[in-house]
RNA sequence: GCGGGUGUGGUGAAAUUGGUAGACACGCUAGACUUAGGAUCUAGUGCCGCGAGGCAUGGGGGUUCGAGUCCCUCCACCCGCACCA
């Protein structure tokens, strides 16, 4: 009987579905375990083999935990709002909801083929009104909350209003000491005035911010749609434009997001990335008086943020961001034109370009700041390397201590003050904190790191500066001028935002005819006047960004059909936070920080009982594509000299041609024989070819001819009768024709093979190129396992003979039990630590050894099947049933390791001379140094190295090695 | 620019605590069996060398009896950077 994986997998998938074996209950006496995958965006391209890597890893762990007696929640859904569907709609007129549904259907059929244990009853789709009703509801919660800095948590805005009515502006806390009003004044404010104050406190708030505006397209563009200052599509100019936007006040949570990192099990690099993103720094804000020839009043002040107030006497110039509001009023008449030109230049550049720019650029404003301590006049410059969004948008430049400042000073010939003596060599900046300060007024003689605190105190005393904690993180932009996203449940009336009430939710996306932008950069919704204009006012026309729905989806899986609330408190108390979250590092800072923030807000407001969403995070690596190339050559015939045509040459000829310098000039040529004629090839172009019609490196020439019309009459020059393709590792993408559909692999080799092969490729966390060819090794392994249970089909006198069961009820030998228990230990440990590649190889070793021992004993094989269940559930269930088990293997008892079967009585020691292995010797397991030394020294090989000398030392590490030092 | 990651045979990789480098596979070579082979099995396969042996974990340096693993330094490649999700 053969291993008929197609039948087997189909049979069990249907049975499992019919028996609802993956349905998970919210009530159980078992301990809970929550395994979550980052849900996919259902793109039109479908899944390729790179996507399921993490899904397989989480599926294995879920099944493993189930076998170990846990009630495992392992859901799946779709992050189905997003730009690509809208872009597709713009091009084809098809409604995003339709294409999204189609794509989801494709994804689900692909996922189901791989045999995942998802409880589909719990599926969520972020674009489903039944889901986004609750996204809108949570948005309104954010809108109606503020962060109370006294209690360090989110509270209802109603409480703030109540406080303002009695305390006035002191209720706002010290952070907002700039605004000041009494309770009486507050009560006398108009509604608009009150709302403006409240808006500055809400966790979801509206304000003005800059967007990438493309006049020609009449739309706002995403950063990745802007390349070198022009739109990716069409190459139209893009400028920064101020627009009303919604934001989430994630900065209020900066400290808690940092502290929370201590409590979660993320990789150090992931935590580091989040810390860097939050970018907490301690320093000071210092105000400088400005002296400008422009205004006689000299009343302006320039406030800078610095982490190094100790270097205040080393400031040689100031740099303000080109967006800085002071520029207009301080620029001198002579510098007016230069400044304007520079600002126009910077407007066309993205933040990233500005930071990555190596060429130094900038312009002098003509104004000076006055150092409050020594009265020195410090020129104020403008440069793009200072970003408006960070700190105060202005820095004090200390060239002797900061590399960028130093280069800037050099470039513009600004004299450099040395405050760190011999630490500064005049050739490069030295950012040390260890130097003793010189030329530094009252700080002279102090160690820099000690001067930081003293410097700030002095400035606070004099009222020119104050201690300040700064964050690089900015409040998160929360509106998009797009159609395919959650509409905001907000109506604007007389400049006041009015939230819809909960019973008006969901506010459904209206149908549109056109997906193009609305007027003035507004989103497409602005075009539907009958929807926008309501008796209560004008609707918000932006929609929410992709991360809205994904910031809380892990909660909805717990209680997906609840119509009363987004998740019942009892249910979320049971499932609690996600125990294992698997996804790519690309979400390190965006999605993970947003969902951590939302979780903290919902915790503060009492909706859930935990404030970190994900206890453990496992990052899966990317699977890169392995592209294949054919080489299209232009040739002429040498024999009759005139014929010119195209021909596809095998790789070796391309290599020859390249070697001859073919790449550079088109003069290089090679000559070869083809169909009895000599042809001359002068120009070769590599073309991507679909990897699915290439076996390893050999092209299927018939399929190639069928692939595209232009290849129908293709003629080939072969090597050894084969057409060999070139290869290169690239991103896996449709455009390189290097994507492989998991369904094809499941059809050809089976889901079990596919699952195990993906894991066998390498560590889950590592990126690695895909190679379809290697899958055969894993497939052979499963067939070999099968043959431990069934004999092969064969032929007898020309007639096929069915294979027969070969398993027996005989008692296992000690040797067989040793193999089994070694495997139990290895698989259990490797699965627990997500080392699935080594687990797969341990299975291979196990089956190889059992086959060598001719072990067909049920007693042993049965336990191997249970171990295998998380990895290859179909074949495990099939053989489990075949050997006579009535219940499913999915709920079998996990094998228990018994060390007594694996203990050894002796150990083979490596014997090294000076650290180099020369021989091995076997000693009893409890042998001591004194026991082994004489034997080692008497050994022939050791003697030949000693050449009669006494060894200097013999290193003996019990159960490890022996090293003889000469 | 900032931040993160990765470099080991022809290929994917293993080596869990500083202790036999290359397990397990792919590919390749030879052979067996077979009507057939894209089935299965056997043997071989890091590089150089007839051999003894030498050289090998991106390059260079260091610590150690012993380094893929620890330290310093340099190089190469990949990913993210706030409106892709």
- Per the CATH hierarchy, to which homologous superfamily does domain A280-470 belong? Valyl/Leucyl/Isoleucyl-tRNA synthetase, editing domain (3.90.740.10)
Continuous segment of H or E residues that includes residue A568: none
- Where do the domains of chain A lie? 1-27+751-899, 28-129+547-620, 280-470, 623-739, 906-965
pTM of the model: 0.90
Q: Which of A292-301, A716-725, A914-923 has the highest mean pLDDT?
A: A914-923
* Orientation of helix A836-852 relative to helix A775-787, angle to 10°: 40
Give me the mean pLDDT over the A922-949 stretch.
85
Residue A173 burial (10 A CB sphere; 0-12, 13-18, 19+): middle
Alpha carbon distances (Å) from A890 to A23, A53, A878, A897: 13, 21, 11, 19
Provide the pLDDT for residue A801: 61
Give me the mean pLDDT over the A244-248 stretch.
92
Give me the mean pLDDT over the A410-421 stretch.
88
Q: Do A290 and A300 contact (CB within 8 A), yes or no?
A: yes
A589 touches strand B (CB under 7 A): yes
Return d(Cα A464, Cα A528) in angstroms, integer: 53
Provide the pLDDT for residue A149: 87
Q: What are A751-775's pLDDT values in tens digits?
A: 999 999 999 999 998 888 888 888 9
Q: Give the distance, in angstroms, between residue A863 CA and nucleotide B48 C1'.
A: 47
Provide the pLDDT for residue A294: 62
Give the sign of the dihedral formed by CA A34, CA A37, CA A38, CA A44: negative
Provide the pLDDT for residue A296: 56
Neighbours of A206 (CB within 10 A): 20
Q: Give the distance, in angstroms, between residue A6 CA and nucleotide B7 C1'.
A: 40
What single string gives the DSSP state of each residue in A54-78?
Answer: HHHHHHHHHHHHHHTT-EEE----B
CB hemisphere CA count around A892 (13 angstroms): 23
Q: Which of residues 330-369 of A touch strand B (CB under 7 A)?
A: 350-352, 355-356, 358
Nucleotide nearest to A779 (CA to C1'): B25
* Orientation of helix A858-868 relative to helix A836-852, angle to 10°: 160
pLDDT at A664 over 60: no
Give me the mean pLDDT over the A619-634 stretch.
85
Q: Do A275 and A472 contact (CB within 8 A), yes or no?
A: no
Q: What are A433-480's pLDDT values in tens digits?
A: 878 888 888 888 888 888 888 888 888 888 888 888 888 888 888 998
Q: Do A764 and A830 contact (CB within 8 A), yes or no?
A: no
Nucleotide nearest to A479 (CA to C1'): B83
Provide the pLDDT for residue A353: 74
Q: Which of A223-232, A359-368, A492-501 has the highest mean pLDDT?
A: A492-501
pLDDT at A116 over 70: yes
Return d(Cα A113, Cα A743) in angstroms, integer: 7
Provide the pLDDT for residue A622: 84
How would you label A895-905 residue by residue, b for 16+ Cβ within 10 Å and e otherwise? Answer: bebeeebbeee
Give the range among A378-382, A641-645, A684-688, A865-869 with minimum mean pLDDT: A641-645
Q: Do A813 and A821 contact (CB within 8 A), yes or no?
A: no
Pairing of strands A623-637, A916-924: unpaired
Give the domain A1-27+751-899 fold.
Answer: Isoleucyl-tRNA Synthetase; Domain 1 (1.10.730)
Provide the pLDDT for residue A566: 96
3-state secondary structure of A904: coil
Cα Rg of chain A (Å, integer): 35
Q: Do A176 and A252 contact (CB within 8 A), yes or no?
A: no
Between A877 and A44, the higher pLDDT residue: A877
Nucleotides of B under 7 A from a protein CB: 1-6, 11-16, 19-21, 23-28, 34-36, 39-42, 54, 65-67, 78-85
CB hemisphere CA count around A96 (13 angstroms): 27
Nucleotide nearest to A960 (CA to C1'): B19
Neighbours of A659 (CB within 10 A): 11
3-state secondary structure of A203: coil
CA A45 to chain centre: 20
Q: Do A239 and A213 contact (CB within 8 A), yes or no?
A: yes
Pairing of strands A726-730, A768-769: unpaired
Q: Which of residues 605-634 of A touch strand B (CB under 7 A)?
A: 622
Nucleotide nearest to A41 (CA to C1'): B85
Residue carrying structure tokens 């409480």: A159
Nucleotide nearest to A843 (CA to C1'): B24
Q: Which of residues 750-779 of A touch strand B (CB under 7 A)?
A: 760-763, 766-769, 771, 773-774, 776-778
Residue carrying structure tokens 């970190």: A612
Where helices occur in A634-774 by DSSP H, the ranges are 651-659, 701-707, 742-749, 751-760
Full 3-state SS string of A145-210: EEEECCCCEEEEHHHHHHHHHHHHHHHHCHHHCCCCCCHHHHHHCCHHHHHHHHHCCECEEEEEEE
pLDDT at A18 over 70: yes
For A222-279, strand residue ranges (E) read 226-227, 230-231, 239-248
Q: Give the distance, in angstroms, between residue A78 CA and nucleotide B84 C1'.
A: 16
Q: Which of residues 407-426 of A touch strand B (CB under 7 A)?
A: none
Q: What are A47-103's pLDDT values in tens digits?
A: 888 889 999 999 999 999 999 999 999 999 999 998 888 888 888 888 999 999 999
Closest CA to A770 of A51, A40, A64, A10: A51
Provide the pLDDT for residue A675: 76
Between A159 and A638, the higher pLDDT residue: A159
Provide the percentage of residues in chain A whose pLDDT is more than 70: 95
Provide the pLDDT for residue A295: 61
Q: Do A371 and A312 contact (CB within 8 A), yes or no?
A: yes
Provide the pLDDT for residue A448: 85
Q: Which two tokens stand for residue A611?
A: 């404030």
Neighbours of A448 (CB within 10 A): 23
Q: Give the distance, in angstroms, between residue A842 CA and nucleotide B64 C1'.
A: 33
Neighbours of A685 (CB within 10 A): 12
Residue carrying structure tokens 């404010």: A189
Beta-bridged to residue A158, according to DSSP, are none
Residue carrying structure tokens 């406190």: A201
Cα dihedral A700, A705, A706, A707, rounded to 10, equals: 80
Alpha carbon distances (Å) from A89 to A96, A541, A648: 6, 18, 39
A703 touches strand B (CB under 7 A): no
pLDDT at A355 over 80: no
Q: What are A126-182's pLDDT values in tens digits?
A: 999 999 999 999 999 999 999 998 899 999 999 999 999 998 888 887 665 567 888
Residue A665 burial (10 A CB sphere; 0-12, 13-18, 19+): exposed
DSSP state of A708: -
Whether the domain at A28-129+547-620 and the domain at A906-965 fall into the same CATH topology:
no
Nucleotide nearest to A403 (CA to C1'): B1
Return d(Cα A551, Cα A81) in angstroms, integer: 13
pLDDT band at A917 (very low <50, low <70, confident <90, very high): confident
Give the sign of the dihedral formed by CA A124, CA A125, CA A130, CA A133: positive
Return d(Cα A845, Cα A649) in angstroms, integer: 42
Backbone angles phi, psi at A19, to 5 degrees: -85, 0
Give the domain A28-129+547-620 fold.
Answer: Rossmann fold (3.40.50)
DSSP state of A589: T
Alpha carbon distances (Å) from A239 to A183, A226, A457: 43, 10, 42
A728 touches strand B (CB under 7 A): no
Q: Which two tokens stand for residue A114?
A: 């791989």
Residue carrying structure tokens 């006398």: A188
Q: Which two tokens stand for residue A304?
A: 């800078």
Which class does domain A906-965 fall in?
Answer: alpha beta
What single string gives the DSSP state of each residue in A839-899?
Answer: HHHHHHHHHHHHHHTT--BHHHHHHHHHHHTTT-HHHHHHHHHHTT--S-GGGPPPP---G
Q: Which of residues 931-960 of A touch strand B (CB under 7 A)?
A: 953, 955, 957, 960
Q: What are A822-846's pLDDT values in tens digits?
A: 999 999 999 999 999 999 999 999 9
Between A175 and A286, the higher pLDDT residue: A286
A521 touches strand B (CB under 7 A): no
A100 touches strand B (CB under 7 A): no
Return d(Cα A287, Cα A284) in angstroms, integer: 10
Return d(Cα A431, Cα A915) in angstroms, integer: 44
Quote the mean pLDDT of chain A: 88
């Amino acid at each position: 009987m053969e291993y008929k994986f197609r039948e087997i997998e189909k049979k069990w998938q249907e049975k499992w579905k019919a028996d609802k074996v993956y349905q998970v209950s919210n009530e159980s006496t078992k301990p809970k375990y929550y395994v979550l995958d980052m849900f996919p965006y259902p793109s039109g391209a479908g899944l390729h083999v790179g996507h399921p890597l993490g899904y397989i890893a989480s599926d294995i762990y879920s099944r493993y935990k189930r076998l170990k007696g846990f009630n495992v929640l392992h859901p799946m859904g779709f992050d189905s709002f997003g730009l690509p569907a809208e872009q597709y709609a713009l091009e084809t007129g098809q409604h995003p909801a339709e294409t999204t549904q189609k794509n989801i259907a494709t994804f689900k059929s692909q996922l189901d083929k791989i045999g995942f244990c998802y409880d589909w009853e719990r599926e969520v789709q972020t674009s489903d009104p039944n889901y986004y009703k609750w996204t809108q509801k949570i948005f309104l919660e954010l809108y109606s909350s503020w962060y109370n800095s006294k209690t360090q948590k989110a509270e209802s805005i109603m409480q703030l209003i109540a406080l303002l009515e009695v305390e006035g502006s002191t209720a706002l806390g010290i952070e907002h000491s700039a605004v000041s009003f009494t309770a009486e004044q507050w009560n006398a404010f108009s509604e608009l005035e009150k709302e403006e104050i409240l808006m500055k406190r809400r966790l979801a708030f509206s304000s003005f911010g800059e967007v990438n505006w493309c006049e020609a397209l009449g739309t706002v563009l995403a950063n990745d749609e802007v390349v070198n200052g022009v739109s990716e599509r069409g190459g139209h100019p893009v400028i920064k434009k101020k627009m009303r936007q919604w934001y989430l006040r994630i900065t209020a949570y900066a400290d808690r997001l940092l502290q929370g990192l201590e409590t979660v099990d993320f990789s150090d690099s992931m935590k580091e990335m989040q810390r860097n993103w939050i970018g907490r720094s301690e320093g000071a804000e210092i105000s400088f008086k400005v002296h400008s020839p422009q205004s006689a009043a000299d009343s302006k002040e320039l406030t800078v943020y610095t982490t190094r107030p100790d270097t205040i006497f080393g400031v040689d110039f100031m740099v303000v961001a080109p967006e800085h509001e002071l520029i207009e009023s301080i620029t001198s008449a002579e510098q007016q034109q230069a400044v304007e030109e520079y600002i126009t230049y910077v407007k066309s550049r993205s933040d990233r370009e500005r930071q990555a720019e190596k060429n130094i650029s900038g312009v002098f404003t003509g104004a000076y700041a006055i150092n409050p301590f020594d009265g020195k006049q410090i020129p104020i410059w403008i440069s793009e390397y200072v970003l408006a969004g960070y700190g105060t948008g202005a820095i004090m430049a200390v060239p002797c201590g900061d590399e960028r400042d130093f280069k800037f000073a050099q470039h513009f010939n600004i004299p450099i003050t040395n405050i760190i003596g011999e630490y500064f060599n005049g050739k490069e900046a030295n950012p040390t904190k260890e130097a003793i300060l010189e030329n530094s007024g009252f700080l002279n003689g102090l160690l820099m790191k000690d001067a930081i605190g003293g410097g700030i105190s002095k400035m606070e005393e004099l009222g020119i500066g104050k201690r300040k904690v700064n964050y690089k993180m900015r409040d998160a932009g929360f509106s998009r001028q797009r159609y395919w996203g959650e509409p905001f449940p907000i109506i604007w009336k007389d400049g006041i935002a009015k939230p819809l009430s909960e019973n008006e939710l969901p506010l459904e996306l209206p149908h549109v005819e056109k997906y193009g932008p609305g007027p003035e950069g507004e989103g497409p919704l602005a075009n539907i006047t009958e929807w926008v204009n309501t008796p209560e006012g004008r609707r918000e026309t932006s929609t929410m960004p992709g991360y809205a729905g994904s910031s809380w989806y892990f909660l909805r899986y717990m209680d997906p059909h609840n119509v009363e609330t987004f998740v019942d408190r009892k249910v979320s108390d049971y499932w609690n936070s996600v125990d294992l979250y698997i996804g790519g590092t690309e979400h390190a800072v965006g999605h993970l920080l947003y969902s951590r923030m939302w979780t903290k807000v919902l915790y503060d407001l009492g909706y859930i009982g935990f404030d970190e969403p994900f206890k453990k995070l496992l990052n899966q690596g990317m699977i890169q594509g392995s592209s294949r190339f054919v080489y299209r050559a232009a040739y002429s015939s040498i024999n009759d000299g005139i014929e010119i045509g195209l021909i596809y040459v095998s790789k070796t000829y391309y290599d020859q041609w390249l070697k001859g310098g073919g790449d550079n000039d088109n003069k290089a040529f090679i000559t070869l024989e083809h169909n009895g004629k000599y042809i001359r090839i002068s120009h070769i172009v590599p073309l991507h070819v679909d990897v699915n019609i290439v076996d390893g490196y050999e092209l299927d020439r018939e399929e190639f001819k069928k692939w595209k019309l232009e290849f129908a009459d293709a003629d080939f020059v072969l090597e050894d009768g084969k057409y060999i393709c070139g290869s290169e590792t690239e991103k896996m993408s449709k455009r390189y024709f290097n994507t492989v559909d998991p369904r094809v692999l499941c059809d050809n080799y089976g889901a079990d093979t596919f699952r195990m092969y993906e894991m066998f490729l390498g560590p889950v966390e590592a990126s690695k190129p895909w190679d379809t060819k290697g899958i055969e090794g894993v497939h052979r392994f499963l067939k070999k396992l099968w043959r431990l249970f069934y004999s092969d089909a064969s032929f007898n006198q020309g007639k096929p003979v069915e294979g027969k069961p070969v398993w027996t009820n005989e008692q296992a030998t000690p040797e067989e039990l040793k193999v089994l228990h070694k495997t139990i230990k290895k698989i259990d440990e490797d699965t627990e630590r997500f080392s699935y590649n080594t687990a797969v190889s341990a299975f291979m070793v196990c089956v190889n050894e059992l086959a060598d021992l001719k072990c067909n004993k049920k007693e042993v094989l049965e336990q191997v099947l249970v171990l295998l269940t998380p990895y290859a559930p179909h074949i495990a269930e099939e053989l489990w049933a075949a050997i006579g088990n009535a219940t499913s293997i999915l709920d079998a008892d996990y094998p228990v390791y018994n060390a007594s079967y694996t203990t050894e009585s002796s150990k083979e020691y490596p014997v090294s001379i000076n650290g180099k292995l020369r021989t091995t010797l076997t000693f009893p397991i409890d042998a001591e140094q004194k026991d082994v030394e004489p034997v080692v020294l008497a050994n022939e090989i050791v003697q030949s190295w000693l050449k009669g000398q006494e060894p200097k030392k013999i290193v003996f590490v019990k159960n490890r090695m022996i090293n003889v030092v000469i």
